[in-house]
Chain A
Amino acid sequence: MTDTHVAAPAPTAAAPPPEEPRNTALARAALLLLRGRTLVVLVVLIIIFSSISSEYLTQSNLILMTKHVAINAILAIGVTFVILTGGIDLSVGSIAGLASMVAGGLLFKGLNFPGGTVFFSVAVVILIGIVVGALVGAVNGLLITRFKVAPFIATLGMLYVARGAAQLHSNGGTYPDLAGTEARGNTGFGFIGVDSLLGIPVAVWIMVVVAAAAIVVTTKTPFGKHIFAVGGNERAAVLSGIRVNRVKIAVYVISGACAALAGLLLTSELGAAYPDTATTYELNAIAAAVLGGTALAGGRGTIIGTVMGAFVIGFLSDGLVLVGVSTFWQSVVKGAVIIFAVITEQAQQRLQSSLNRRTA
């Protein structure tokens, strides 16, 4: 609509002059609403669900839902780094599963050497899990930069490779008990997924720390500027001396590490590691990023938007379960919300550019 208006040759003489500024003011208001749409949707969801169930807006349920959000939010923050450069990471769910199995194996049966078995402390196990995720991310990055494989294909391949590696790790089995023993010095894995600090689950604190770090990196550091530059216009980024390949590898490493962390949180909460952990979670993570206004073409988006997107998805899914909606409808509603988000995103872009042209 606005496009055709701008494209029109010139305002006809019949058009009254005061009409133009009023339109612009309306457009500005609409733009503001569209920019804050994730927040608007979240508030609407909370109003709807709390009017249906009195259990929705209780302190304990809000804490629980935020804990469920934490896992997807951490995955989505990692994916956002990749999407900002114009790439995509489809392998995060599988990386989460692989990290889960590596950590689970180390806790459950230790690391077998020909000379015996070594058990690591929980902190070391968590570190190894995250390093595994980062390494897989590095492989993704190298495939994309050195071997010029399209990100979609490289990470799609890694989705299968990492999932297969997770299954190979236990020959398909589950590591059932990750509590550890005092004798092995590896108790306490439940801390990150089960325990709380100051009444807030540790997983939520971890999400807050990861989000804060990601916000600082993307908005306050040269590396952050480079990420947006690569995603906005790769050719220009190269010409302005940014080491594009390094930036790209780094974002896949970040994405892999975040995915591994999310897998470890899930595994800690479950107290068991199984190879199918976090299957298809990559889709929820990408959906959260898109919902939060990250453009799939790259160059535009915010970490805070992604976190809000994860909140919308999590509060929606849990709300539907809480009020007892069937699984089938849960899928339909979730899909519809994502499509709606993309449509409003494009409406925002059109409105923005038309406003820019008007004021120019």
Chain B
Amino acid sequence: MKFVPSRRALLAVGAASVLALSACGGGDDEASSSGGGESAPAASKLVVIITPSPDNVFFKAEQDAAAAQAKGLGYETLVLSHDDDPTKQSQQFDTAISRKAAAIILDNAGADASVTAIQRAKDANIPTFLIDREINKTGVAVAQIVSNNAQGAGLGGQEFAKLMGNKGEYAELTGKPTDTNAGVRSKGYHGILDQYPDLKMVAQQSANWDQAEALQKTQTILQAHPNIKGIIAGNDTMALGAYAAVQAAKKDIIVVGFDGSPDVVSSIQKKAIKATVLQPASKIAQMAVDQADAYIKAGGKTDQAEKQSIDCVLVNADNAATVKDFAVAGS
């Protein structure tokens, strides 16, 4: 083959432009470590924070709150994302162990698939503090601090029933079927909604937590059931997708979500989406870091129960203005 330099140059330009275009976005380095400023050996001052992909603002808020709290307490941080892949999570645990982390804050990648990794850290004398999602075993992690999804779904269900006037046709968009929270939330909604005989669910579809999928499925559902008065979604990204479909169809339909994400909160303020259930993500992440700090300082002891459940808060037009970074003022 002949050597043609111009093609290579073109390739380089192409590659560079992709990088440049993406680089103009964020400046933060995700896996950045910052110095603690104290003289203690670095090995014992590292807090490793592992969460699902920060694509979802909810997990981003979790990461940010945990990292800020840990830095405030004088720790170094290593922030990683397992992208809901237990294998990747397991490798990240190996990293934490080899770097002799002081503690791990984890929003895990699977209730069963995470147990052995956490056990491995425990065997290496590294305590793990779980946030947001539980695992199916006790005595492995030091703490499991989760928002009360069942209670939150109850709140969402009640508000939805009230907005619907306790009657009429509605559709439900559920989350990824393999995610425990998808089932817990749906059950929580129906615990309330099924008590009203005049509230009739005419369609139930999974949109896999995805915004575009929620949009298309809602459009089709509205075709099949033009008299739908409300749509209740298992999370906020699906609520946003559903609302885009409602808007395109120029209909007046009640949409309720779950998470308390900033996009939905601002939508509520614009009187578009009606309500969401806020999970106190930032508060839970901070609590986990505080408890990790106390545990380290007490030489490996805790006075807290392992399972801790934090109540969710309903966000509607009345209090949307007071919500900031997954926290309602005064809660």
Q: Which residues of A contact B (CB under 8 A)?
A: 53, 55, 58, 60-61, 64-65, 68, 98, 101-102, 105, 111-112, 132, 135-136, 138-139, 142-143, 146, 161-162, 164-174, 176, 194, 266, 269-272, 274-279, 318, 321-324, 326-328
Contacts and interface: CB of A to CB of B under 8 A. Distances in A.
B40 interface: no
A322 B26 contact: no
Given A139-B11, A172-B55, A165 B19 contact: yes
B223 A68 contact: no
Contacts of B210: 276, 279
Contact of A270 (B53, B205, B241): B241
Interface in B1-20: 7-8, 10-11, 14-15, 17-19
Nearest to B81: A172
A318 B204 CA distance: 14
Interface string B27-62: 010100000000000000000000001110100100
Interface residues of B, number: 49
Contacts of A324: 203-205, 224
Interface of B: 7-8, 10-11, 14-15, 17-19, 21-26, 28, 30, 53-55, 57, 60, 177, 203-206, 208, 210-212, 215-217, 219-221, 223-224, 226, 237, 240-241, 244, 247-248, 262-263, 266
Contacts of A161: 18
B220 A112 contact: no
Nearest to B202: A324
Given A105-B25, A168-B22, A169-B21, 7 more contacts: A58-B223, A136-B18, A170-B26, A270-B244, A271-B244, A274-B211, A321-B224
Nearest to A68: B216
A164 B53 CA distance: 12
21 contacts: A55-B223, A61-B220, A64-B220, A98-B22, A105-B25, A139-B11, A139-B15, A161-B18, A162-B18, A164-B22, A169-B21, A169-B22, A169-B25, A170-B26, A173-B26, A176-B263, A269-B248, A276-B210, A322-B224, A326-B206, A327-B177
A183 to B, nearest CB: 19
A272 B237 CA distance: 11
A266 B212 contact: yes
A172 B263 contact: no
Given A169-B21, A194-B248, A328 B177 contact: yes
A132 B15 contact: no
3 smallest CB-CB distances across A and B, nearest first, come from: A171-B26, A169-B25, A165-B22
A146 B10 CA distance: 11
B17 A321 contact: no
Nearest to A277: B212
Contacts of B262: 176
A171 B25 contact: yes
B57 A174 contact: yes
Contact of B219 (A53, A55, A68, A146): A68
Interface centre among B11, B25, B211, B220 (most CB of A within 10 A): B25
B220 A168 contact: no
A268 B208 CA distance: 21
A146 B22 contact: no
Given A136-B18, A165-B19, A169-B21, A142 B211 contact: no
A295 to B, nearest CB: 28
Contacts of A60: 223
B203 A111 contact: no
Contact of B55 (A167, A266, A323): A167
Contacts of A171: 25-26, 28, 30, 54
B220 A173 contact: no
Contacts of A274: 55, 211, 237
Contacts of A143: 11
B223 A322 contact: yes
A58 B11 CA distance: 49
B54 to A, nearest CB: 4
Given A68-B216, A167-B55, A321 B11 contact: no
Contacts of B247: 271
A171 B226 CA distance: 39
A113 to B, nearest CB: 10
Given A173-B57, A276-B55, A142 B22 contact: no
Nearest to B3: A146
Nearest to A135: B14
Given A112-B24, A271-B244, A327 B224 contact: no
B206 A327 contact: yes
A135 B55 contact: no
B10 A138 contact: yes
A165 B17 CA distance: 11
B7 A142 contact: yes
Nearest to B7: A146
B216 A170 contact: no
Contacts of B266: 176
A132 B21 contact: yes
Contacts of B25: 101, 105, 168-171
Contact of B18 (A135, A272, A321): A135
A172 B53 contact: yes
Contacts of A55: 223-224, 226
Contacts of B18: 98, 132, 135-136, 139, 161-162, 165
B23 to A, nearest CB: 7
A25 to B, nearest CB: 43
A61 to B, nearest CB: 4
